[in-house]
Amino acid sequence: MTPPPADDIRFLTIADAAALLRVTKLTVYRLVHSGDLPAMRTGKAWYVPRDAALDYLHTLDVAQPRD
């Protein structure tokens, strides 16, 4: 079975969300537990909506280089 195209993925595992945000899994868990990143729990697994992860990524302030 082939994985679905990236545009069809609606939920990310914690590991996938960490890779997308380029942070550690622990950071994603902290974001979820603080309420900064929405997620749902199914059994022992957590899933982050892909759109929520992308929205979070776009709300971050980007540091400007100093002259």
Mean pLDDT along residues 34-48:
96
* pTM given for the model: 0.78
Token pair, residue 51, equals 């759109």
Measured distance CA(33)–CA(39) in Å, rounded: 9
Q: Specify burial of residue 18 (Cβ count, 10 A radius: 0-12, 13-18, 19+).
A: buried
pLDDT tens for 2-29 read 666 666 779 999 999 999 999 999 999 9
